[in-house]
Structure 1
Amino acid sequence: MVRALLVASALTLASCASQAPGQQGAAADPPYVVSEEMQDARREYLQHAGAFLADPGSDTSRGWHQQTIALLGREDLQALIPESTNWFPKSDCAEGAGDAIGEIVRRAEAYSVVIVNEDHAVPQHRGVIAGLVRELTASGFTHYAAEAMYPDAVTPRDDHATRVSDGWYTQDPQLAALLAELRAAGTTLVQYEQRPEQRAPDDASMDESINAREEAQANNLIEAVFARAPETRIIIHVGHAHVYEMVNGQPSVWMAARLKAKTGIDPLTIDLTPCKPGGAAPVLAGEVTFRGNPWAPGTDLVARMPVVTFTSNRPDYRRSAETQDIAVPEALRPVSGLAIIEARRAGEGDEIVPSDRLLLRPGEEIPLILMPGDYVVVAFGAEGLLERPVQLTVTR
């Protein structure tokens, strides 16, 4: 059931933001100030979302558009993509040794480096990885690296919050929350993505571009971590094939294999991406069959993800015993066009990644999923604020 809101008051719009006619309120202290950088990101979100909804089967809808739909809290809309057009078709995987997280943590005791991947368009993977990271840092891993992070993400700051400037995939509220949690716990964050000067020339082939990126990522990890402290216990969070140690039984060209060859450190590698979902919890996969043929994994372990179930168009895996479904205030729901609804902790600036974000179309009644606390809920279009923000309290 969607909980009723405890509305404290409405905030006025910042003077720099666009306002709907007749919607100005009395001055409030402080007004809501829109971050230009965050609003640029919202414009990009809306462009991708509009293109996706116009043609879910297009090539670009299976790439950036699909990833954006996920960042906007609407994994339910990915069902619009025809399965026959999926860039990364899933395989049939037999169930293996049971509980994936527990078994990975057990095996990781013998390793100093754990590399795990995600499908960038499946934020469920980030939720699973977040749980794994919490278990591994509790057991002695001190560093967390992710290709998702920009240099700003590892810059010292007075608070622990994740900002829009920290990365692209880090704008997923659940990954943003993990980074904030790791900062607060004192875990060292490592940024290692290829820098502009490390890229292959513009006229390079696909293979040349891949080789340049994989080499840069491995070298950057060595420079940032292993050259100074080769015994460092680190979790490296990658996308797709960067995790492969082997391809067709031979050492791969991907980052994990290069890092192993350069450092002599054997990582524990886990692939979360190849299997068709099944069951209610992550399990290690046994035999993997791709298009009817046995498939040799390029990693130490393969995990099969659970089926994502939805309630009120939101994925149930994002809910916990502490979260509550909160109705979007009626005044913030769009009457025409697309709107982005964001809920931030009271006192957080607009440049902070929100606690929850939701794309709404006219007529949709889809809840935010929030922990107890005080929030400011805001509705945005491409030009800025659509209505006066609303303050609310989520009770226990």
Structure 2
Amino acid sequence: MKRTNNRATAPLSRIYASDSLARSAARDEPVHARITDGDFTAEPTSGALLSALRTLGYRIVPFEASNAPPAGRHFTDQINARETAYASSLINRTIQTGDGSKVLVHVGFGRNRETLERIDRRNVRWMALQLREITGIDPLTIDQTSYVSDRTGVCAFNSDGSALPTDRDIYVAHPPLAFERERPTWRLARGQRFADIPRALKNADERVIYEARYANEPDDAVPADRILVDPGEDIPLLLAPGRYRVRAWTQDGAWTRSMPLTVAASTPPAPQKARPKSTRRKKK
């Protein structure tokens, strides 16, 4: 199995906009994410998100604060100026195109706040609030950073029964992080599998970084997984079934190795033979 470039048939009015992307990310091909596509895309999970969005047919739109906040003013003035620049950039690159696009906006913590925030006895107007004030559009804002719960889902109220904040429209709770063999179990639940480091790539004396890329993707592609292993540790890669190239190197670069790796799909359990029905002996 390899990652393919077969893009899904999707309407042209689906846009994914993010404040952490470089302009090079605004492309249809190649589908895979490049390390240079943004501030966070070099991280494997973020790179996988970008690749999945392209496969689903989303148009990728980076937006940024092109004008630097004025220096020498109170830091809240700088925040407000920066958020105005972000809101203006988002509007110019998406809403003002006039094609009625549905826009999914992915931003960092705080930028999707729809109400005034008091910081150091001053008003701070985050991007979502300024977007609404400028355009009259009331965005649907979703927070996924504030709540943890044993059950994933939309929060209705706080654990003490009190009302949720009104800063965002929806609050989503995720389960606490859990780990197995030093790796997050939520990735196992998504179908990835443990892939032990091949013996030929192990180094018992030095700290090693391992990166696994799909076999059909170039060196500038974001790896499917990346781990750092200290001497004596036994930490596996987490990969979906498929063919990969694994590269290993030490901090000083004096020791490097590379080799192919195949992660097999899990074998479904064999069907059990039907047991013959038991018969009760008739009494004479």
Whether TM exceeds 0.5 here: the answer is yes
Amino acid at match of 2:17: A
Q: 1:242 aligns with which of 98, 102, 111?
A: 111
Contact 1:333–1:360, Cα closer than 8 Å, also in 2:
no
Note the C-alpha offset of 1:164.
1.0
SS at match of 1:236: strand
Residue pair 1:141, 1:235 contacting (<8 A) in 2 also: no
1:370 CA displacement: 0.9
Equivalent runs, 1:341-352 vs 2, <5 Å: 341-352=210-221
1:146 matched to 2:18 = yes
Partner of 1:173: 44
- Identical aligned pairs, as a percentage? 34
| Correspondent of 2:86 among 204, 217, 232 | 217
Which of 224, 227, 230 is matched with 1:361 structurally?
230
2:157 is matched with which residue? 287
Offset, 1:387: 2.7
Q: Which of 191, 201, 205 does residue 74 from structure 2 map onto?
A: 205
Aligned to 1:189: 60
Give 1:253's aligned residue.
125
Q: Is the 8 A contact 2:84 2:130 kept in 1?
A: yes
SS in 2 for 1:388: strand
Secondary structure of 1:303 counterpart:
strand
TM-score of the superposition, structure 1-length normalised?
A: 0.58
1: CA distance between counterparts of 2:227 and 2:190?
21
Query: Which amino acid letter does the alignment assign opposite residue 76 of structure 2?
Result: D
Separation of aligned partners in 2, 1:260 and 1:377: 47
Q: Secondary structure at the match of 1:357?
A: strand
Aligned-partner Cα distance in 1 for 2:124–2:174: 24
Q: Give the number of the structure with larger relative contact order, counting CA–CA contacts within 8 Å between residues 6 or more apart.
A: 1
8 Å CA contact 1:244–1:252 kept in 2: the answer is no
Match of 1:326 among 195, 199, 204: 195
Structure 1 position 298 matched with structure 2 position 167: yes
- Cα distance change of structure 1 residues 272 and 331 upon mapping to structure 2, 3 Å threshold: same
- Equivalent position amino acid for 1:282 in 2: T
- After superposition, the C-alpha distances for 1:139-158 in whole angstroms (9 at most, x for unaligned) are 9971111112111111x364
Q: Tell me if the contact between 2:28 and 2:54 (Cα under 8 Å) persists in the aligned partners.
A: no
Q: Give the CA deviation at 1:168.
A: 2.0
Change beyond 3 A, Cα 1:274–1:140:
farther
Local SS of the residue matching 2:49: helix
Alignment check: 8 A CA contact 1:289 1:295 kept: no
TM-score, length basis structure 2: 0.80
Aligned with 1:271: secondary structure?
strand
2:243 is aligned with 1:374: yes
Query: What letter is aligned with 2:243?
Result: D
Local SS of the residue matching 1:244:
coil
Matched residue, 1:273:
145
In the alignment, is the contact (CA less than 8 A) between 1:288 and 1:296 conserved in 2? no
Residue by residue over 1:38-84, the C-alpha shift from the partner in whole angstroms, topping out at 9 and shown as x without a partner, is xxxxxxxxxxxxxxxxxxxxxxxxxxxxxxxxxxxxxxxxxxxxxxx
Offset of residue 261 of structure 1: 1.0
SS at match of 1:212: helix
Structure in which a larger fraction of residues adopt helix: 1
Q: Provide the aligned C-alpha RMSD in A.
A: 2.7
- Name the amino acid aligned to 1:209: Q
Larger Rg: 2
**Match of residue 135 from structure 2:** 263
Give the superposition deviation at 1:289: 7.1
Question: Could you say if the C-alpha distance between residues 157 and 381 of structure 1 is closer, same or farther in structure 2, counting changes exceeding 3 Å?
Answer: farther
- Taking the aligned partners of 1:303 and 1:210, their CA distance within structure 2 comes to 26
Q: Could you list the runs of 5+ residues in structure 1 that have no partner in the other structure?
A: 1-136
- After superposition, the C-alpha distances for 1:272-321 in whole angstroms (9 at most, x for unaligned) are 1122x221x4222233379x997633111111111221111111111246
Contact 2:117 2:125 in 1 (8 A): no
1:48-197 equivalences under 5 Å are 142-154=14-26, 156=27, 158-195=29-66
CA change 1:257–1:388 in 2 (3 A) is same
Query: Is the contact between residue 250 and residue 256 of structure 2 (CA under 8 Å) also seen in structure 1?
Result: no
Number of residue pairs the alignment of both structures matches: 253
